[in-house]
Structure 1
Amino acid sequence: MKVSSNKTIHIMFILLLASALALSACGKKEDTVTASTSADGEPEVAELRYQGWTGSVSFPELAEDLGYLAPLKLKYIGNTISGPQDIQSVVTGDTDFGGAFNGAIVKLIAAKAEITSVLAYYGSDESTWTGYYALDDSPIKTAKDLIGKKFGMNTLGGHHEAVIKEYLYRAGLTLDEIKQVTLVVVPPVSTEQALRDKQIDIASLGGILRDKALERGGIHPLFKDTDLFGVFSAGSYVLSNKFIKKNPNATRLFVEATAKAIEWARTTPTEEVVARYESIINKRGRKEDTSSVKYWRSTGVAGKGGLISDKEFDTWINWFEAEGSLKKGQVKAADLYTNEFSPYLNETK
């Protein structure tokens, strides 16, 4: 993923909801995260609370099913449809881990949230990517045609908003023109239908939702996120600094198990991964449809076992500094994440 040069100053936006900023603005910075362990190395807690995603399997859930997480267990407390909301729940202490777009993590930590990224968990590659789709009979052919139009996405302040605004900027739109593109929040499962009903003009579609929509036909991508960034990890799992400091053994086990699950999914034949995901969904008994899992293609994670690199945060930091929502040097990529718990730390990415 390429970091934009100073010559191409990015006009971007403030990612997180005001409520997330307010919740995270208070509090004193915790001590530096360490990886000290007790003599026996046993996890300090018995379970980890988390939010799920309807109809999909997360890597921690896969790790538990593969037996990598034992003796730790996961405790499901409900579903989320938003990365910013998921990590906000970590900040407020309602969950023990959550995941979001890296730009959202930058903004939350800049607002003094005491969290640290420990693993990359999603991104885009040649098999897994997000497209931004128009109807085949749509008059929209270029970025300029989006002025005055509606763009549907799952949440504001996340991955899709960042990608569309970068697309508009690279196409030469001014700030005033970019502001005339209306961003509309639509539940992911309803996005395709909203496009076909012409409630929105462009729909962000990825993974199984994209493939199902393409099977039905009548749509085409205006552009893809990989057109802009190539292969890249876009989001990370976070833990609170307090949790890491208090529970180093549990932290290490969570990261090791999840990293191994990512590599299992990366190196196992697709058919076997899909079958495993179907089994997990059936066993957890949440009355979900497993048919969508057959569209799984790849992990989309760039670094081995979810290893994180500076560049996966630097892109967003540079944007915010240029846009003015962050002061120059206010946030440094190396302070936002740690790979120290990963079993692949010393291996080639």
Structure 2
Amino acid sequence: MKRLLAVAAALLSTAVLAAPPAPEKTELRYQGWAGQVTYPELAEDLGYLAPVKLKWVGNTISGPQDIQTVVTGDIDFGGAFNGAVAKLIAAKAPIKSVIGYYGVDENTFHGYYVSEGSPLKTARDLIGKKVAVNTLGAHHELMLREYLSRGGLTAAEIKQVTLVVVPPSNGEQALRQGQVDATTLGGVLRDKALERGGIRPLFTDHDLFGNFTAGTYVLHTRFLKENPETARVFVTATARAIEWARATPPAEVRARFEKIIAQRKRNEDASTVKYWKSTGVAGQGGVIADAELQQWIDWLVKDGVLKAGQLRAAELYTNQFNPYLGQQPGSKVAAR
């Protein structure tokens, strides 16, 4: 009996030693997206985030606004297009990317659309025209500028293309009413617009770069220093949720999203969920690749915002909390 008790005590001691440290914070404040389910929200619903819980403080319509709110300390994590992340860090913002959360593939992408009868067919045709984007300095603008640059436009000519900030949900309407000559549409908003007909693509971000992770979640550097175990729980749970969504039949993922939206009771329209097709995330579990950030550092250098060598991609992110590090095939961001 004494021997059995000794063995049991040893096993219990080993289990206690093997248990991961408790998270320093058990509540994470964040902004959501109306009618959508984020991967941290999915992670919480799947039980991956426990004992940490999410606290919704409102919705955002812009990645740059979301990560700026992390800087001010009003939320604990936020996500944005990698170009916006690089630009904010270049401005000395104390944040760091910790996991990729959205991207581009053959099923999930943003297109730049014109009316069916529009004479616009090439990059040069956009000179003097108006293009709707959701915000300045983010995904939509930089993809458009890349398209214009590849189309042979000079910096002076690119400046003649007017960007009009329009909420994503109003982009289709702005195009159909002639308020803009082209508009950006992605995901469910794109698919709904195409179902109605009368528009056609000018180009897509998938045409430009193929498959790549486009945006990352960031945490404040102070948060990372003071709450490393909470950061580990957050990244691990989000990574697992991304892989769950990747491995699960899309119909089942959509059903889960609809259930989450119904349960949170935010008086929102969940009809767009039926158009969800894929995560778009290139790296397994959202592991970040250098090229996914270096691409946009190069843009900032090209625009004169940064000096060559002033900022390196490795300074903008960390994969240290991601359990999938070393297991993923790498990003497919096209080399420039």
TM-score for both structures, normalised by structure 2:
0.91
Amino acid at match of 1:119: I
Aligned partner (choices 30, 39, 60) of residue 80 of structure 1: 60
Structure 1 residues 292 and 39 mapped into 2: Cα distance closer, same or farther (>3 Å)?
closer
Cα drift, residue 348 of structure 1: 2.8
Amino acid at match of 1:277: F
Matched, 1:261 2:241: yes
Amino acid at match of 2:150: R
Contact 2:287 2:328 survives alignment (8 Å): no
Q: What is the CA deviation profile of residues 290-313 of structure 1, one whole-angstrom value per residue up to 9, with x for unaligned ones?
A: 111000000000000000010001
- Please give the root-mean-square deviation of Cα atoms over the aligned residues, in Å: 1.3
Amino acid at match of 1:201: D
- Count of equivalent residues: 313
Partner of 2:311: 331
Aligned partner (choices 200, 205, 214) of residue 234 of structure 1: 214
Partner of 1:70: 50
Q: Which runs of 5+ in 2 are unaligned?
A: 1-17, 330-336
- Structure ranking higher on relative contact order (CA contacts 8 Å, 6+ apart): 1
Partner of 1:89: 69
SS of residue in 2 equivalent to 1:194: helix
Q: Which runs of 5+ in 1 are unaligned?
A: 1-37
Q: Which one has the largest radius of gyration?
A: 2
Q: Distance in 2 between matches of 1:165 and 1:121?
A: 23
Identical-residue share of aligned pairs (%): 66
Q: What is the CA deviation profile of residues 102-135 of structure 1, one whole-angstrom value per residue up to 9, with x for unaligned ones?
A: 1111111111111110000111001101110000
Cα drift, residue 175 of structure 1: 1.4
Cα drift, residue 143 of structure 1: 1.2
Segments of 4+ moved more than 4 angstroms: none
Partner of 1:304: 284
Matched, 1:284 2:261: no
Matched, 1:274 2:251: no
Cα drift, residue 73 of structure 1: 0.5
SS of residue in 2 equivalent to 1:122: strand
Partner of 2:4: none
Matched, 1:49 2:32: no
Aligned partner (choices 214, 218, 225) of residue 194 of structure 2: 214
Q: Distance in 2 between matches of 1:287 and 1:328?
A: 48
SS of residue in 2 equivalent to 1:347: coil
Q: What is the CA deviation profile of residues 266-303 of structure 1, one whole-angstrom value per residue up to 9, with x for unaligned ones?
A: 01000000000000000010111111100000000000
Aligned partner (choices 147, 151, 160) of residue 167 of structure 1: 147
Matched, 1:177 2:177: no
Amino acid at match of 1:274: R
Q: What is the CA deviation profile of residues 174-206 of structure 1, one whole-angstrom value per residue up to 9, with x for unaligned ones?
A: 112111110001111111111100111101000
Cα drift, residue 39 of structure 1: 7.6
